[in-house]
Structure 1
Amino acid sequence: MGFFTRLRGKEIFLVGIKGTGMASLACLLSQFGAHVQGSDVPEQFSTDAVLAAANIAWIGTFSAEALPLDTDMVIHSAAYDTTVCPQLVHAIGLGLPVYSYPAFLAEISSTVRAFGVAGTHGKTTTTGCLDWILRNTGLPFFPIYGSHIQGETIGRKPNGDEIAILESCEYRDHFLSYRLQGVLVTTIEHDHPDWFADVQQTLDSFKRLVIGLPQDAFVVCGIDSEYSRNLARWIQTTRPELSLTTFGTNPSSMFRICGHEDGPQESSYSLAPLAGYYHTRLASVPLCLDIVGAAIFASSLVLRESGLPVDLETLVSDPVLPALLGEAASFPGCAGRLETILEDGGVVYVDDYAHHPTEISTSLASLRATYPEQRLVTIFFPHTVSRTRTFFDGFAAALRQADVLVVRPVYASARHDGNMEDGSAIAGELAAAAGGHFIAHEETLVTDVAKLLHPGDVCITMGAGNNSGLARRIADVRRS
């Protein structure tokens, strides 16, 4: 019996159900036969449409009285404190099983064969690509990640519930509680400065993740970043019994991307030591690396489940890797990751989650490759005061790649690492440093951006703040 089979018919209540990971989990639980509902703030997010498409109801209050009497289990976003949130305090008082989102993933990983996708950047796109290319392998897998495939409002019902593919986040060391049998590391860079003081602390967390792997585990590691190369070298000396496969553009990569060329519809590349050329709908080398990493990881999983060795010789000689690279050519990307929301009045509207300088540079480079002759008008919604302050110079340099820049006040996230005055002040400083405009009020932003857009422009809503519906509102004002 798989993990979710035992939850069929159970009444499960999700607190903070509109978080991206939580909404995906809610849909998955519902697809496997659980009765799901939840609570969250009334503010509209992109996940409102996801929950509505899955016929999952939610309430806009966290009051204890609103917790349904027949609840069998409660799962909550890690943003909510079990000693403060009334529904969680009440659920614990009733003796109900209560899990945070990371704790529930940890429970899954202790019950089924679980494999993780980790790394500072690219986790969601890589996990989404795994979801896409593993569908025709026959493996009884299910993915849990903070998005879904573009064009699939809630995602396809998984093949089964015996193998978990988990997007595994390093924030607050959450991924250290997962019991994984294999892990993909995309890249390692300093992020989450409210938790990691510097990049060395970030790297140490990834090392602890690898230390916790069993002896027969496999690791696939991108080595284009300095600290992921450091991790790969450390694995070779400290955990030599693990099966390690590296990839990247770095000359020492076991699988090396070369000959990469971006086109208006797709990119092409070769992957030494394999023969031939491969294709992806995602532009830019970093996004191509996400696809390649996913294909190598998926191939390693297929080989393992088939009882074959997971090593370089087998990955090169077996037909599974070229076949999965072929499957990846049609991967359309994940919702909220360089997603075209609409085209209206000669303007293309794109939504993107990039919220770190490296991610912003990657996204803008990808858009520049896709729209080489068009003006990139970027509306940036910074996420957390601590991140904006720590990486201020990097943000300014990355955002200068936009042709026109508008910066919003820093998003008031659940991390509570700065007040509204701090968020507005530092966002204004960032706009000035990057040669952009700071607009504090959303209604003013919608009106002003609608006026400055021209046919042929690409309008990008970018960041980890709540940009839900912003593109359509701007388009509506332009039409009026």
Structure 2
Amino acid sequence: MSFESVHNVHFLGIGGIGMSALARWFRHEGFVVSGYDKTPSTLTDELITEGMQVTFEDSLDTIPNEVKESPASTLVVWTPAMPKDSVQLAYFRENGFDLKKRSEVLGIVTKNFHTIAVAGTHGKTTTSSLIAHLLKVAGKPVAAFLGGITQNYQSNLILGEKKAKEQSLVVVEADEFDRSFLRLHPNEAVVTSTDADHLDIYGDENTILDGFGEFIKLIDKKGKLFIQFNAAERLGQERMPKVFTRKYGLRSEGIRAENIQARPGSFVFDYVDGQKVIPHLELFIPGFHNVENALAAIAVATEHQISDDQIRKGLASFRGVKRRFEIHRNEKHSVYIDDYAHHPEEIRACLSSVIAMYPMNKLTVIFQPHLYSRTRDFAEGFSESLSLADEVILLDIYPARELPIEGVSSEMLLEKIQSKKKSLVSKADLMDYLGKSNPEVLVTLGAGDIDRLVPGIASWMNSRQKMNTV
């Protein structure tokens, strides 16, 4: 399929992070873009400001007339998160419109470009953003579709000023959820992790490993794969592709980091790949896991003939992605970090890095579990990883697309957490609870709506410090 006959593009679920990046791309390419989403957000506000018509009522009256009158020249992009009883979705299905899932459209958009696809159950947003940033800093003609808002570009879409035909490289986040990444056509791929997740979709660990195996088999025969060492071990040789493959990791024998130093606000390390060493690189998105993400990004950059100096400059200027180890306050005895971590391994990586950066300070964690099924499937892992903190505050489970599961609650995690202090607190009572405590290093974690609490917590941390210094 091409988009030559398309004039209007209408998105159902336009406010989603992946959907909005596609909407921005179509707008950049000169299409008339409109869409529906359930609730307004900062992201939908930005789309409206950029010239897109966005509505928040699922009715026929809110569909633009130009869309309703032009089914032959309209593409409708939808997300599986749309309710099955959606009025707009039913209308488009019944009236001859061309409907495609976001993953299908992303596959079509990227098919004619040299595509660098970044997959993994953790780390793909930061890694894909950093790859795109290194390429852009080096002057490469790159476009990037990302699963988060980059701090450098304040967007989930990175583009040059020219139209798509002038872009020769595309970096895309390859999402394993709903097997979306199987729609892509990668020339190069990065796999950051293959831990069990999305078991509500895949059923069991072996099936998700099979999914990653199918993804890497899509790599062009002349292409390249960069895979995290443990991820490769989990996949096993039978799932590995017959393409140029390089393994990376903090303890890998291939591409690795040496002389790692954890500092408040940054990590310093040497990049070593058997062919070259780039010493004393500084990364201002802290965390051992982010050093590992940087190894993959540097490896890709070197394959595109980006110089050591350009890599050093790009790495030092990268400011990360919102809600990925985002430091809101970094003062002595008053630190606040927010992270999207919602899987036990992500939590372990985040908290281990925080402890390395601030070893002498009390660590308080606020965690909002995401999905009843994930909480049930990984309950023991959640309790174990959260036990790294001195104090744990649990919020209620964020249900997202699920209905409650009998017997599954945040309380089931609390019982096995070994921290010195642990509590169940409602979102409504959280600020009062914090007001009675004295956190030194505070970390908020979760993929639900905990992000809506972040501005208030950051403001409270700042005002509390001012009061203490008066």
Which TM-score bucket, shorter chain as reference?
0.7 to 0.9
Residue of structure 1 in register with 2:364 after alignment = 377
Residue of structure 2 in register with 1:181 after alignment = 187
List, as ranges, runs of 4+ consecutive aligned residues in structure 1 with deviation greater than 6 Å.
343-346
Find the aligned partners of 1:41 and 1:343 in 2 and give their Cα distance.
36
Find the aligned partners of 2:299 and 2:222 in 1 and give their Cα distance.
17
Residue of structure 1 in register with 2:289 after alignment = 286
Find the aligned partners of 2:405 and 2:377 in 1 and give their Cα distance.
17
How big is each residue's C-alpha offset from its partner over 1:288-307, in whole Å with a ceiling of 9 and x where there is no partner? 0101101212332x25xxxx
Find the aligned partners of 1:265 and 1:352 in 2 and give their Cα distance.
15
Residue of structure 2 in register with 1:75 after alignment = 77
Q: Which amino acid aligns with 2:423?
A: H
Is contact 1:412–1:420 with CA below 8 Å preserved after alignment? no
Is contact 2:110–2:170 with CA below 8 Å preserved after alignment? yes
Q: Which amino acid aligns with 1:437?
A: S
Find the aligned partners of 2:288 and 2:335 in 1 and give their Cα distance.
23
TM-score under structure 1 length normalisation? 0.84
Tell me which moved more, 189-198 or 268-277.
Answer: 268-277
Q: Which amino acid aligns with 2:382?
A: F
Residue of structure 2 in register with 1:18 after alignment = 15
| Counterparts of residues 204-223 of structure 1 (less than 5 Å) | 204-223=210-229
Correspondence 1:58 to 2:54? yes
TM-score under structure 2 length normalisation? 0.85
Is contact 1:341–1:471 with CA below 8 Å preserved after alignment? no
Is contact 1:190–1:196 with CA below 8 Å preserved after alignment? no
| Counterparts of residues 32-181 of structure 1 (less than 5 Å) | 32-42=29-39, 45=41, 47-48=43-44, 50-51=46-47, 54=50, 56-71=52-67, 72-80=74-82, 84-154=85-155, 158-159=159-160, 161=164, 162=167, 163-181=169-187
Q: Which of 270, 295, 298 is 2:301 aligned to?
A: 298
Is contact 1:106–1:179 with CA below 8 Å preserved after alignment? yes
> How far 1:48 moved relative to its partner?
4.6
Residue of structure 1 in register with 2:233 after alignment = 229
> How far 1:362 moved relative to its partner?
1.2
> How far 1:349 moved relative to its partner?
3.6
Tell me which moved more, 261-270 or 178-187.
Answer: 261-270
Is contact 1:259–1:270 with CA below 8 Å preserved after alignment? yes
Q: Which amino acid aligns with 1:460?
A: V
**Secondary structure in 1 matching 2:137:** coil
**Secondary structure in 2 matching 1:90:** helix
How big is each residue's C-alpha offset from its partner over 1:59-99, in whole Å with a ceiling of 9 and x where there is no partner? 22222332112123222223125x53211221233323222
Residue of structure 2 in register with 1:410 after alignment = 397
Q: Which stretches in structure 1 are left out of the alignment for 5+ residues?
A: 304-318
Residue of structure 1 in register with 2:447 after alignment = 464
Q: Which amino acid aligns with 2:302?
A: S
Correspondence 1:399 to 2:386? yes
> How far 1:55 moved relative to its partner?
5.3
Q: 1:179 to 1:39 in 2, by over 3 A?
A: same
Find the aligned partners of 2:138 and 2:410 in 1 and give their Cα distance.
47
Residue of structure 2 in register with 1:197 after alignment = 203
Q: 1:405 to 1:233 in 2, by over 3 A?
A: same
Is contact 1:30–1:36 with CA below 8 Å preserved after alignment? yes
**Secondary structure in 2 matching 1:47:** helix
Find the aligned partners of 1:156 and 1:169 in 2 and give their Cα distance.
16
Is contact 1:450–1:475 with CA below 8 Å preserved after alignment? no
**Secondary structure in 1 matching 2:410:** helix
**Secondary structure in 2 matching 1:442:** coil
> How far 1:138 moved relative to its partner?
3.4
Q: 1:475 to 1:207 in 2, by over 3 A?
A: closer
Find the aligned partners of 1:108 and 1:186 in 2 and give their Cα distance.
23
How big is each residue's C-alpha offset from its partner over 1:412-453, in whole Å with a ceiling of 9 and x where there is no partner? 112x2x41765xx521121232242112x3212232223324
> How far 1:155 moved relative to its partner?
5.9
Q: Which amino acid aligns with 1:266?
A: S
How big is each residue's C-alpha offset from its partner over 1:289-329, in whole Å with a ceiling of 9 and x where there is no partner? 101101212332x25xxxxxxxxxxxxxxx63664254223
Is contact 1:105–1:178 with CA below 8 Å preserved after alignment? yes
Residue of structure 1 in register with 2:434 after alignment = 449
Q: 1:399 to 1:19 in 2, by over 3 A?
A: same
Q: Which amino acid aligns with 1:259?
A: N
Q: Which of 403, 409, 425 is 1:426 aligned to?
A: 409
> How far 1:198 moved relative to its partner?
2.9
> How far 1:139 moved relative to its partner?
2.9
Q: Percent identity between the aligned chains? A: 24
Q: 1:262 to 1:345 in 2, by over 3 A?
A: closer
**Secondary structure in 1 matching 2:400:** coil
Find the aligned partners of 1:29 and 1:92 in 2 and give their Cα distance.
22
Correspondence 1:438 to 2:421? no
Q: 1:282 to 1:233 in 2, by over 3 A?
A: farther
Find the aligned partners of 1:112 and 1:40 in 2 and give their Cα distance.
30
> How far 1:50 moved relative to its partner?
4.5
Find the aligned partners of 2:356 and 2:29 in 1 and give their Cα distance.
40
Find the aligned partners of 1:364 and 1:56 in 2 and give their Cα distance.
40
> How far 1:473 moved relative to its partner?
2.9
Is contact 2:134–2:310 with CA below 8 Å preserved after alignment? no
Q: 1:356 to 1:279 in 2, by over 3 A?
A: same
> How far 1:52 moved relative to its partner?
5.8
| Counterparts of residues 224-373 of structure 1 (less than 5 Å) | 225=230, 227-231=231-235, 233-234=237-238, 239-240=241-242, 242-253=243-254, 255-272=255-272, 273=274, 274-275=276-277, 276-300=279-303, 302=304, 320=307, 323-341=310-328, 347-373=334-360
Q: Which amino acid aligns with 2:265?
A: Q
**Secondary structure in 1 matching 2:194:** coil
Find the aligned partners of 1:390 and 1:346 in 2 and give their Cα distance.
36
> How far 1:7 moved relative to its partner?
9.3
Residue of structure 2 in register with 1:311 after alignment = none
> How far 1:337 moved relative to its partner?
0.6
Q: 1:48 to 1:349 in 2, by over 3 A?
A: farther
Find the aligned partners of 2:114 and 2:28 in 1 and give their Cα distance.
20
Is contact 1:24–1:144 with CA below 8 Å preserved after alignment? yes
How big is each residue's C-alpha offset from its partner over 1:28-80, in whole Å with a ceiling of 9 and x where there is no partner? 333343333322222x6553565466454532222233211212322222312
Find the aligned partners of 1:348 and 1:259 in 2 and give their Cα distance.
25
Q: Which amino acid aligns with 2:404?
A: N
Q: 1:45 to 1:376 in 2, by over 3 A?
A: farther
